[in-house]
Amino acid sequence: MALRKGRFEVVFAESAEDIRAAQRLRWLCFLRRGHDGPTTEGVLDADDYDEGCDHVLIRERASGSMVGCFRMLTLAGGAEIGRSYSARHYNLSRLSGFQGRMVEIGRFCIHPEWHDPDILRLAWGALARHVDEQKIEMLFGCSSFVGTDVHGYEDAFAMLRERHLAPKRWLPRVKAPQVFRFARALRLRKPDPRRAMEAMPPLLRSYLAMGGWVSDHAVVDRQLDTLHVFTGLEIRAIPPARAKLLRAAGA
């Protein structure tokens, strides 16, 4: 799959060491907060889902440094939705009737010391190529806000409620023990667009710009210290101009 843009390249993991490198970066991005031990060597973010996924790695070409990664679980259709990581946190029974091929995008992260926008562009280019090659009709996953305190995210959640809720036929229902029902709690709040977009995670902003939608509640995930919303994107909903850009990035 090797793709290159500027200083970076994206490849599939080909070995156990490649996957461990991704797991180390995931730990750094998702679990390091609050770690006060003397060393971080050998610490990983790993789970039972890693074995069944394709792992995508984004590296700086000159140094080989890992700057980003994510994993993909490809499903034949909604009947397999129970295999997904997202199904641990959301009742996705409504999506079980989705007929097309699907990909769950998980553990997407960019190294906190790297801020080059080419990293995210290259990731989307790799996804666009996978979507075309595998004839994928829906992308989905969990989009994470840092921390479990909703303070500071009110405008972002209010904008999600106002503009980006899932269509009722696909809307995930509550399953996790602790959630923030933002569609209900913020039904009277008028979001400030600037503050909302500033607080929105970059990956979620990309999904929304392409026509993506979210659940009406956020899961409070204390293990990863995040608030996350289920996010879906039907490929046919992507505006043609945006789809053309994505395919160009994946060429």
What confidence tens digit (pLDDT) does each residue in 141-165 have? 999 999 999 999 999 999 999 999 9
Q: What is the pLDDT of residue 43?
A: 86
In which band, very low, low, confident or very high, does the pLDDT at 240 lie, cut at 50, 70 and 90?
confident
In which band, very low, low, confident or very high, does the pLDDT at 241 lie, cut at 50, 70 and 90?
confident
Helix pair angle (117-134, 240-249), 10° resolution: 100
Q: What is the pLDDT of residue 40?
A: 53
Half-sphere exposure of 242 (CA within 13 A, CB side): 13
Q: What is the pLDDT of residue 245?
A: 75
State the total domains in the chain: 1
Asked whether 46 and 27 are in contact (CB, 8 A), the reply is no
**CATH number, domain with residue 187:** 3.40.630.30
Residue 106 has pLDDT above 90, yes or no: yes
Q: Rounded mean pLDDT of 192-208?
A: 95
CA distance 251 to 247: 6
CA distance 134 to 54: 13
Residue 238 has pLDDT above 80, yes or no: yes
Q: What is the pLDDT of residue 101?
A: 97
Q: What is the pLDDT of residue 201?
A: 94
Residue 38 has pLDDT above 50, yes or no: no
Q: State which residues form the domain around 134.
A: 3-249
Percent of the chain with pLDDT over 70: 94
